[in-house]
Amino acid sequence: MKKSLIALAALAASGFAMAQSSVTLFGVVDTGVSYIDNANAAGDNVYGLSTSGNTTSRLGFRGVEDLGGGLKAGFWLEGEVFGDNGGSGLNFARRSTLSLIGNFGEVRLGRELTPSYSKVSSYDVFGQTGIGQVMAWRAWDATGTADESAVRASNMVSYYTANYSGFHAGLGYGFDEQVEGKEGRYVGGYAAYDNGPLSVALSYEQRKVGALGAADRDSVTLGASYDFGALKLSGIAQQTKYDQAVGGDDKFNTYSLGAKVPVGAAGEFRAQYALYDQKAIDSKAHHITLGYVHNLSKRTAVYGTVSHLKNKDASNLALQAKSLNTTGPGAGNKQTGVQVGIRHSF
């Protein structure tokens, strides 16, 4: 009996020793000076210190535990911070997930970027931050539904496959958690191929928006890039449609083409053009951006971005500059912005 107990204790101790875990504190602080002309319909200009001009400022904790047999458990908690005024969004609204990871891929539970956004948005050469970002993922009809853009979803179960010779995919379902109606419910996914210089992905998403989920917001996005060595080209094509319960459909199409050009060992020149074809209001907007990033070290970089947005007809889009009080310049008007800043990651 004693020998059995001793053997059992030794086995348990061995099991605990095999289970290795790690926790990492990480973050980004990105702060700069921004200027936007025609920041509102009255034609006023605005300038000041802004945040997240090159990369979204954040603070987070992530960890993983080796459970043995090729299985791991992980967690990820991440919230936004604002370097210009010290404010924070540390409610972990950027990401709050638990996951199981194995040869089968990864299963996640919680709030995070949706599978239909996380991959295809990577073809934006300005990384979905600052005044140069492609504005395809926005609340075009502004129904007031939380996370209408489907950039993130709460109450989500998602699955990401392992990489099979360059092929991989992701699928997610966000519960609406309501007794009546389906407002806020999300379903979407992507399929992608990454091999050498070529990357291509296709995604689909649907989100119930409006009171009690009165409309479906459907988006189909195709993204691709090819790295020629001296030049990397990226493109995005997206159609977003609001299938209204009453009345006709509202459609919004976005097309972008961007390039990254290495400059020496530490620099990178970026350029991008985006067209916003807002068929719902029979109007268009043209968006062109030039930028440069210079890496001072592996963790620190300085950057500069110039962006021009030209609205046509009834279009009233605005450049995205966090912490600055900007709105659309007025239907059919132009807006130009400049951002210069520094980014440090840890």
- What radius of gyration, in Å, describes the C-alpha atoms of the chain? 23
- Taking CA atoms, 308 is separated from 149, 242, 288, 290, in Å, by 23, 28, 5, 9
Q: Kind and range of the H or E element at 101?
A: strand 95-102
Q: From 49, 86, 96, 68, select the one nearest 11 (Cα to Cα).
A: 68
Superfamily of domain 20-345: Porin (2.40.160.10)
Rounded Cα distance, 67 and 70, in Å: 7
DSSP output for 245-296: SSS--EEEEEEEEEEEEEETTTEEEEEEEEEEEEGGGTEEEEEEEEEEEEES
Residue 325 is which amino acid?
N
Cross-strand pairs, 149: none
Chain mean position to CA 131: 15
Parse the chain into domains and list their residue ranges. 20-345
- In this prediction the pTM is 0.92
Rounded Cα distance, 80 and 59, in Å: 6
Residue 248 is which amino acid?
G
Per-residue confidence in pLDDT tens, the chain, 346 aa: 444 444 434 434 444 434 579 999 999 999 999 999 999 999 999 999 999 999 999 999 999 999 999 999 999 999 999 988 887 667 899 999 999 999 999 999 999 999 999 999 999 999 999 999 999 999 999 999 999 999 999 999 999 999 999 999 999 999 999 988 899 999 999 999 999 999 999 999 999 999 888 899 999 999 999 999 999 999 999 999 999 877 778 999 999 999 999 999 999 999 999 999 999 999 999 999 999 999 999 999 999 999 999 999 999 999 999 989 889 999 999 999 999 999 999 9
- Mapped to the 3 state alphabet, what secondary structure does 203-233 carry? EEEEEEECCCCCEEEEEEEEEEEEECCCCEE
